[in-house]
Structure 1
Amino acid sequence: MRKQKPASDSFVIMTELVLPNDTNTLNNLMGGRMMHLMDIAAAIAAQKHSNRIVVTASVDNVSFRDAIRLGNVVTLQAQVTRAFSSSMEVHIDVWAEDIPSGTKMKTNEAFFTFVAVDQSGRPIDVPEVLPETPEEIKLYEGALRRRQLRLVLAGRMKPTEAQELRALFELSEK
């Protein structure tokens, strides 16, 4: 049995100020810059969990709900939700805050997958995640379905082999 680590041990908060060089011609944070920040926060969470070098394996759908404006403070919160043998799913929430107006809104949410590697770049085992709070347990329980969906969409798993997804569709047919 692999060692376990609490999900909370991987929790990361990262804060950035949106400056003119980060924005498009509408003075909104560029999507690529947002994804860059999300990748960094998620990678730090995966490193904290695994104590290893990590590489980005996949990024689920990233929706841009609301524009993040020039001068906003962006706060990213990332945490490992589940670990498989060498891969880890990381959940990220992004908040934009306009300090002068006192407003704060959630603008983005995504799941990233990282693989821990050794010095030669080969995948290496990581500790299991021990979820403790109701939210951590909910994210942990859904991670296997999300993983199987990622693998099916990437062509690395046959849909018929995705037991968690099959069970989901069987429930919806009843």
Structure 2
Amino acid sequence: MHDAPPREARLWEIVFPDDANHLGTLFGGRALAWMDKAAFIAATRYARHTVVTARSEQVDFHVPVRQGQLVELVARVVDVGRSSMQVEVELHTEDAHAGTRHLCTRGRFVMIALDANGRPAAVPSPAATT
């Protein structure tokens, strides 16, 4: 029996003026970049290989993220193939003073593990780590 590889990563960001549009809300592209970074970290920790993004799917923006808000990104490896991992990422805001939190954005990313030659590499199967 082996220790299960970590399936989750959490990152924190803050929305500065350079991250926001003329309405004072987070650029969608910046949100996607942060989400992709979180997916990358979760997949890398799970696979213990270099990983690349193969696809982003079904990214839903529910609530605007405002300048000055704290942002927590929670990335979880939710499905594993031979060399691919599906990572679900949630973006939550938190008001630093009130402590209120809201789920703002959710998306799914497909990450591929690569070997030293840049070819797909096998990742641990969930059955082998239990």
**Quick check: TM above 0.5?**
yes
Number of the residue aligned with 2:105: 108
Pairing 1:15–2:1 present: no
Matched residue, 1:90: 87
Q: Which residue of 1 aligns with 2:45?
A: 48
Task: Compute the displacement of 1:102 (Å).
Answer: 3.0
Deviates more, 1:117-126 or 1:47-56: 117-126
Larger Rg computed on CA atoms: 1
Distance 1:90 1:4, change over 3 A: farther
Displacement after TM superposition at 1:82 (Å): 1.5
Q: Which residue pairs with 1:125 in the alignment?
A: 122
- Aligned sequence identity (%): 35
Distance 2:60 2:2 in 1: 32
User: How far apart are residue 100 of structure 1 and its match?
Assistant: 2.3
From 4, 7, 32, the equivalent of 1:6 is 4
* Partner amino acid, structure 1, of 2:84: S
Counting matched residue pairs gives 127
2:55 matched to 1:58?
A: yes
What amino acid does structure 2 have at the position aligned with 1:127? P
- Name 1:169's counterpart in structure 2: none
TM-score (norm 1): 0.69
Code of the aligned partner of 1:6: A
Q: Please say if residues 4 and 128 of structure 1, whose CA atoms lie closer than 8 Å, have aligned partners that are also in contact.
A: no
Checking the alignment, whether the CA contact within 8 Å between 1:81 and 1:129 is kept in structure 2 is: no
Matched, 1:79 2:76: yes
Structure that is richer in helix per residue: 1
Quote the offset at 1:92 in angstroms. Answer: 0.9
1:5, CA displacement in angstroms? Answer: 6.2
Gaps of at least 5 residues in structure 1 are 131-174
Q: Distance in 2 between matches of 1:4 and 1:56?
A: 27
Structure with the larger strand share: 2
Query: Which residue of 1 is the match for residue 33 of structure 2?
Result: 36
Shift of the alpha carbon at 1:120? 1.8
RMSD in angstroms over aligned alpha carbons? 1.6
Q: Which amino acid aligns with 2:122?
A: D
Matched, 1:26 2:23: yes
For structure 2, list consecutive stretches of 5 or more residues without a partner in the other structure: none
